Amino acid sequence: MRVAVVGIGGTGSAAARYLASAGHEVVGYEQFRVGHNQGSSHGESRIIRYTYPDALFTAMMADAYPLWAELEREAGEELFVRCGGLYFGRYDDPSVIATERALVGAGLIYDRLPPGEAQDRFPAFRFRPDEICLYQRESGFLRAGRCVAANAELACAYGADIREETAVAEVVPHGDDVIVVADVGSAERYDRVIVTAGAWISQLFAGLNLRLRVTRQQITYLQIARNADWFLPSQCPVWIDATGLYYGFPRDGRIPGIKFAAHTQGDQVHPDHVPRDVDTDYIAQNIEYASWRMPDLDPAVTASQVCLYTNTANEDFILDHIPGSNNIWLVSGCSGHGFKFTVLLGKIAAELATGGSYERDISRFQLSNFLLSNTLTGDTASAR
Q: Contact, 47 vs 237, CB < 8 A?
A: no
Confidence at residue 373, expressed as pLDDT on a 0 to 100 scale: 53
Confidence at residue 184, expressed as pLDDT on a 0 to 100 scale: 82
Give the start-to-end residue ranges of the domains of the chain. 2-43+145-209+315-382, 85-137+214-311
For 203, counting Cβ atoms within 10 Å of its Cβ (0-12 exposed, 13-18 middle, 19+ buried), the class is middle
Among residues 244, 343, 256, 235, the alpha carbon closest in space to that of 293 is found at: 244
CA 287 to chain centre: 25
Among residues 194, 197, 199, the alpha carbon closest in space to that of 214 is found at: 199
Q: How many CB atoms lie within 10 A of CB 109?
A: 9
Among residues 40, 146, 54, the alpha carbon closest in space to that of 102 is found at: 54
Among residues 168, 172, 237, the alpha carbon closest in space to that of 203 is found at: 168
Among residues 9, 6, 28, 7, the alpha carbon closest in space to that of 343 is found at: 9
| Domain at 2-43+145-209+315-382, CATH homologous superfamily | FAD/NAD(P)-binding domain (3.50.50.60)
Question: Cα(332)–Cα(94) distance, rounded to whole angstroms?
Answer: 27
Residue type, 349: A
Among residues 316, 306, 310, 318, the alpha carbon closest in space to that of 213 is found at: 310
Q: What does the DSSP assignment read for 122-160?
A: STT----TTEEEEEETT-EEE-HHHHHHHHHHHHHHTT-
User: Three-state SS for 350?
Assistant: helix
Confidence at residue 352, expressed as pLDDT on a 0 to 100 scale: 97
Mean pLDDT by 10 residues, the chain (384 residues): 98 98 98 95 94 90 97 97 97 95 92 97 98 97 97 98 97 94 92 97 92 95 97 97 96 94 92 96 95 96 96 95 93 92 98 97 95 52 37
Q: How many CB atoms lie within 10 A of CB 321?
A: 19
pLDDT tens-digit series, residues 118-128: 999 999 999 99
Strand partners, 142: 46, 80
CA 351 to chain centre: 20
Confidence at residue 185, expressed as pLDDT on a 0 to 100 scale: 84
Confidence at residue 333, expressed as pLDDT on a 0 to 100 scale: 85
Q: What ranges make up the beta strands (E) of 79-231?
A: 80-81, 85-90, 111-113, 131-136, 140-142, 161-163, 168-174, 177-182, 187-190, 192-195, 213-224
Q: How many CB atoms lie within 10 A of CB 81?
A: 18
Q: Name the CA dihedral angle for 363, 365, 366, 367, rounded to a multiple of 10 degrees.
A: 170
Cα–Cα separations (whole angstroms), residue 140 to 45, 79, 87, 137, 338: 9, 10, 12, 8, 15
Confidence at residue 195, expressed as pLDDT on a 0 to 100 scale: 98
Residue type, 248: G
| Domain at 85-137+214-311, CATH homologous superfamily | D-Amino Acid Oxidase, subunit A, domain 2 (3.30.9.10)
Question: Cα(3)–Cα(277) distance, rounded to whole angstroms?
Answer: 37
How many angstroms separate the most distant Cα atoms in the chain? Answer: 65
